[in-house]
Amino acid sequence: MTSDYIKIALIQTELIWENPQKNRDNFSEKINLIKEQVDLIVLPEMFSTGFTMHPQENSETMEGETVKWMQKTAAEKKSAIAGSVVISEGNNYYNRFLFVHPSGEINFYDKRHLFTLAGEEKVYESGNKKLIVNYMGWKICPLVCYDLRFPVWARNVEAYDLLIYVANWPKIRIAAWDTLLKARAIENMCYTIGVNRVGLDANNYEYNGHSVAYDSLGEQLVEIPPNQEETAVFTLDKNHVSKTRNKLGFLNDRDFFKIECQ
């Protein structure tokens, strides 16, 4: 099925520290409160645990309960569901963005830029492949939190329509979140969405949300109020992207480059 329109739900909420079952239950409750049919539900980074540096105790496999829950929820709601989860594979751990289709098919992206300020690179493996998800005729680029600070990795060389960031981005640096999300929308001439959590984590870091959506000119379409647990539902029109690019053509003048992943 393809469509020029996609209806999206962003869920901004507190996360229960390192408790996947309670987090899944919380998200199930909030998803069940969405009364209209949506095409895509977006959850924050590490939505089942919070931003933990303890993957040994908190990771799951791709056959684990959180992935099964995502597949079950996507099938029941006839909606894709996306967010990042702590995943173990072999002897490594990943901060993995999962995009689960209503069919149960899974696309995944492993966070490229690990947050060295918190020592994320010491316990997780970095991804080295950018992902473009094809869903309903939309080309979607999923990225995770700290990736937001690195515009070269996000650069729109694939003509994607929608850029999604999921995050645990603390209040103390929220001005950067606000500014960089808008910049990514403008420079890549695409819709850009950021989904952040609220509340305190076990390390006493405070998160105040600012989950938001911008159009391809950087105009704000949706913002969930700070510090609120709330779900925002809105519809995007792909014709806006194509009309803007055809009229302005800024992407035609972009620099060409090659990224070398270590």
Q: Going residue by residue through the chain, which has 262 residues, state the pLDDT in tens, using 9 for 90 and above.
A: 899 999 999 999 999 999 999 999 999 999 999 999 999 999 999 999 999 999 999 999 999 999 999 999 999 999 999 999 999 999 999 999 999 999 999 999 999 999 999 999 999 999 999 999 999 999 999 999 999 999 999 999 999 999 999 999 999 999 999 999 999 999 999 999 999 999 999 999 999 999 999 999 999 999 999 999 999 999 999 999 999 999 999 999 999 888 887 6
CA dist list (Å): 89 to 37, 92, 110: 34, 5, 11
What local confidence, expressed as pLDDT, does residue 67 receive? 98
What local confidence, expressed as pLDDT, does residue 165 receive? 99
Q: Rounded to whole angstroms, how far apart are CA atoms 123 and 86? A: 11
**Total structural domains within the chain:** 1
The answer to whether residue 116 sits within a structural domain is yes
The answer to whether residue 260 sits within a structural domain is no
Contact 99, 106 (CB under 8 A): yes
What local confidence, expressed as pLDDT, does residue 259 receive? 86
DSSP 14: B
The answer to whether residue 147 sits within a structural domain is yes
Catalytic residues: 45, 111, 145
The answer to whether residue 151 sits within a structural domain is yes
Q: Rounded to whole angstroms, how far apart are CA atoms 17 and 10? A: 20
Containing 243, the helix (H) or strand (E) segment is helix 238-248
Q: Rounded to whole angstroms, how far apart are CA atoms 167 and 103? A: 26
Which residue range is the domain that position 76 belongs to? 5-253
Contact 24, 32 (CB under 8 A): no
The answer to whether residue 192 sits within a structural domain is yes
What local confidence, expressed as pLDDT, does residue 261 receive? 75
The answer to whether residue 71 sits within a structural domain is yes
What local confidence, expressed as pLDDT, does residue 262 receive? 67
- CATH number at 9 reads 3.60.110.10
Question: For residue 38, what are the contacts with CB-CB under 8 A and spacing of at least 6?
Answer: 7, 8, 9, 77, 79, 233
Q: Rounded to whole angstroms, how far apart are CA atoms 151 and 211? A: 19
The answer to whether residue 117 sits within a structural domain is yes
The answer to whether residue 261 sits within a structural domain is no
